[in-house]
Amino acid sequence: MKLELIAFTQRGNDLALRLADTLSCHGHQAACTRDGLKAEEWAGRAFSRCDGLIFVGAAGIAVRAIAPYLRHKSTDPAVVVVDERVQFVIPILSGHLGGANDLAREIAALTGAVPVITTATDVNGVFAVDQWARRQELMVCNPERILPVSSRLLAGETVWFFSAWPIAGELPRGLRPASREEAQVVLDLRPPEGDALWLCPKGMRVGMGCRRGTPAAALRSLLEDVLTEEAIPKNAVCALCTIDLKKDEAGLRELAQELGVPLLTYSAQELAQVPGTFTPSPFVEQVTGVDNVCERAALVSGGTLLRRKTAREGATVALAMEKLYLTWEEHG
């Protein structure tokens, strides 16, 4: 996670610096970034550019500082408070979707503090579907449906669950397998019917090829039309993939930046080694050295080809879903 820390006294600042170093050594990107700002000004900047805010000091200061910037549980960053003597770590915002609860537990484990977790599912030992989704790197597409699901589980009622992919381990208490049509929680690329909670993996690889100079607008239009036809959300895209001959193609680079995903490129030899049956093009093979770019590029890392080549105005696109490795084990 990208984390920013703030403190208000010399003792607190010393702790914040040590904590930032410790968290950075454990895989986070953490830094103290107050730079003389007032707490509210700092919070406004941090809200828009990081995954989590850590206040070293009083919880009341943190609450007042973040209050003007609260938007929605699906978008607000994690906010955690650590007292200056490192006795308690308190997640005060985005405990599940933002990861504040897990961050508090991690800080507590690193410092010997006590994590103060107050979310109802956690304190009652009930499965938290939104927390599990985050840990599995799944998107919660309609977060307003989290509350009805959690309420049923807290009341001891059954929640019917469908997944388009296998999930290792035993189903958590309160969940039961169901058909897609009957489920109250649906894990799938495509939206469920009715009012089920929709979980979607961010594992869609987009393979693309294009003529030199094809503008980003044309590539975007083609991709959006294909995703709409397949009923797949744009946020499910995790990478834009093509041949290395196109690594400097301005339209592809611009589209990848708009999507917020990497542009991955592969040599003709790498693409030719991808197993499977693909839509061949003698012209593409003559130019690039491989019979198909978009389908092969989408499948370089394995997975399932969901949409074969669609061509329009000098551009081609194909869709593939990465292999998913889902588990209930540590969260059952």
For domain 129-201, the CATH class is: alpha beta
| Contact of 88 with 117, CB cutoff 8 Å | no
Residue 330 has pLDDT above 70, yes or no: no
Residue 116 has pLDDT above 50, yes or no: yes
Give the C-alpha distances (Å, rounded to integers) separating 284 from 241, 251, 291, 317.
16, 19, 6, 14
Q: What digits encode the pLDDT tens for the residues 58-91?
A: 999 999 999 999 998 888 999 999 999 999 999 9
- What percentage of the chain reaches a pLDDT higher than 70? 99
Question: pTM for the full model?
Answer: 0.83
- What percentage of the chain reaches a pLDDT higher than 90? 86
Mean of pLDDT values over 20-41: 94
Q: What digits encode the pLDDT tens for the residues 183-228?
A: 999 999 999 988 999 999 999 999 999 999 999 999 999 999 999 9
Q: Supply the pLDDT for residue 74.
A: 84
Mean of pLDDT values over 109-134: 93
Q: Supply the pLDDT for residue 291.
A: 84
Q: What digits encode the pLDDT tens for the residues 221-261?
A: 999 999 999 999 999 999 999 999 899 999 999 999 999 99
Residue 303 has pLDDT above 50, yes or no: yes
Count CB-CB contacts under 10 A for residue 99.
Answer: 21
Torsion of CA 263, 269, 271, 274, to 10 degrees: -140
Mean of pLDDT values over 1-18: 95
| Helices marked H in the chain | 10-25, 39-49, 59-66, 100-111, 120-123, 129-135, 146-154, 216-230, 250-259, 268-272, 282-288, 294-298
Q: What architecture (CATH level 2) is domain 2-118? A: 3-Layer(aba) Sandwich (3.40)
Query: What residue segments make up the domains of the chain, in order of their start?
Result: 2-118, 129-201, 204-321
Arithmetic mean of pLDDT over the chain: 93
pLDDT band with cut points at 50, 70 and 90 for residue 289: confident
pLDDT band with cut points at 50, 70 and 90 for residue 286: confident
Contacts of residue 181, Cβ cutoff 8 Å, sequence gap at least 6: 193
Give the DSSP letter string of 209-261: EE-TT--HHHHHHHHHHHHHHHT--GGGEEEEEEEGGGTT-HHHHHHHHHHT-
The β-bridge relationship of strands 197-201 and 185-187 is parallel
Length of the chain: 332
pLDDT band with cut points at 50, 70 and 90 for residue 332: very low
Weakest mean pLDDT among 55-64, 239-248, 273-282, 308-317: 273-282
Residue 331 has pLDDT above 70, yes or no: no
Count CB-CB contacts under 10 A for residue 273.
Answer: 12
Residue 169 has pLDDT above 70, yes or no: yes
For domain 204-321, the CATH class is: alpha beta
- Tokens in use for 229? 């036809």
Q: Supply the pLDDT for residue 222.
A: 96
